[in-house]
Amino acid sequence: MAPAAAAAAAVLRRPHLAGVHSLAGRRQPVVDRVSVLPPATRVSWQRGSGGVAMRRRLWVSASGSMEQDDVGEDAVLPSQVVEEGKVDLLKILRSANTVIPHIVLGSTILALVYPPSFTWFTTRYYAPALGFLMFSVGVNSSVKDFVEAIKRPDAIAAGYIGQFVIKPLFGFLFGTLAVAVLNFPTALGAGIMLVSCVSGAQLSNYATFLTDPHMAPLSIVMTALSTATAVFVTPTLSYFLIGQKLPVDVKGMMSSIVQIVVAPIAAGLLLNRFLPRLCAAIQPFLPPLSVFVTALCVGSPLAINIKAVLSPFGLAIVLLLFAFHTSSFLSGYHLAGTWFHKSADVKALQRTISFETGMQSSLLALALANKFFPDPLVGVPPAISVVLMSLMGFSLVMVWSKKTET
């Protein structure tokens, strides 16, 4: 009898093995007893050899032949190393969004300390950058996501009310306060109002994903709906709030929103629908690219408008916008709490709608201000809002994500 077969027979004859001891007297060939194991089964045990732990493996092939080999206790097959390395790389790429709070803070500090690091990213790049972020939303969405989210029209309606009813009211309030009470130039008040008229920011989708991942599709639907209807709503709100004080090119704003927002999202959805393999190939690289673009979009407006931010009225504008965003975050949170107080996931809905109400596309407001308003002061509040909204939103991410983990 071969040594391997003898060893296997010895193991099977141990009295403590259930079902084997009862077969005493019915001797069967050793190979038959081993062959009851599934093909390619490993029977392993450890033995000491010179103080080094080794593992002996008994291979039983489909044909019934047996082979054995000695491998180290911590041995890892080369194929496993390659596979694990591949998975780790993709995991790192996909998890790039988790560093956004630190990137936003770093970009803000760098723009303040050394503005030339961002001034090269001029206003002409804002529209393509925003289009890329909107394209990422489309690529990471699917028809199924929309179908599941649409099943909650009440939540979508609450987010929409926070976005285009509550927020514009706060914008009008603080914009009027800046002009009528603080005697700021009319253009600054118009800039605050313009910030309140734009749609939800893609950063709200990131914030929701980092805090409540299962709510991310709903957040995407809310943002998609607000951006799609912004073609009509943003120019209309701009006309009613500031149209009598500064000229508003309604047709031009509609055309820009279609090019910057609607078309990229539609392109991403179509790519996801009809070219899923290509979509799957590029998806891991979108988060780090989005983080990089977000850093540029946060640092550039601050660096380009650094003189206005540091001007005598710069600090007052910062405080007004801080009050504006704080009011928006709190209103969205309490609106959802009142509306869905009987819902099992009320806390997650509160966080999601709070992000959707407090984080709007200030970069879009900045692009519209630079293109359609002759006074450059109109762009100062959107530039400050880009940074302030991002810092406040991702500060909430860090606070709320810790609560959801406990």
- pLDDT digit of tens for each residue in the chain (406 aa)? 555 555 555 444 544 444 444 444 444 444 444 444 444 444 444 444 444 444 444 344 444 444 444 444 444 444 444 444 444 555 665 666 667 778 878 888 999 899 999 999 987 888 898 888 888 877 877 767 768 778 899 999 999 999 999 999 999 999 999 999 989 999 999 999 999 999 888 778 878 887 888 888 898 888 878 887 888 888 889 888 887 555 667 777 778 778 887 788 889 888 988 888 898 888 888 888 888 888 898 888 888 878 877 777 788 899 999 999 999 999 999 999 999 998 888 999 999 999 999 998 888 888 888 888 888 888 889 988 988 888 898 889 888 877 665 5
38, 129, 227, 274, 315 from 290: Cα distances, Å = 49, 9, 18, 23, 30
pTM: 0.69
Handedness of CA 35, 41, 43, 48 (dihedral sign): positive
Q: What is the pLDDT of residue 294?
A: 83
What are the contacts of 280-285 at 24+ separation with CB within 8 A? 282/139, 283/94, 283/139, 283/140, 284/90, 284/93, 284/94, 285/93
pLDDT number for residue 351: 96
Among residues 390, 385, 373, 135, the alpha carbon closest in space to that of 260 is found at 135
The residues, ordered by sequence, that sit 6+ positions from 2 with a Cβ below 8 Å of its Cβ are 66
Multiple choice CATH, 110-405, 1.20.1530.20, 1.25.10.10, 3.40.718.10, 3.30.470.20: 1.20.1530.20
| 209: amino acid identity, one letter | F
Residue tagged 């190979």 (tokens): 31
Contact by Cβ (8 Å): 327, 170: yes
> Nearest Cα to 360, choosing from 227, 240, 215, 229?
227
Whole-number Å distance between alpha carbons of 147 and 35: 52
Residue 286: predicted pLDDT: 85
What's the pLDDT at 22?
Answer: 45
C-alpha 182: how far from chain center: 38
Tokens at 69, concatenated: 């080999």
pLDDT number for residue 53: 41
**Distance between first and last Cα of the chain:** 60
- Please check whether residue 97 is in contact with residue 285, taking contact to mean a CB–CB distance below 8 angstroms: no
Which strand (E) or helix (H) includes residue 57? strand 52-60
Q: What is the structure's pLDDT at 126?
A: 83
Q: Supply the pLDDT for residue 235.
A: 87
CA separation for the pair 270, 121 (Å, rounded):
29
In the numeric block, the tokens 């809310």 are attached to 222
| Predicted local distance difference test score (pLDDT) of residue 45 | 43
pLDDT at 175: 94
**Sheet holding 66-72: strands in order across?**
41-49, 52-60, 66-72
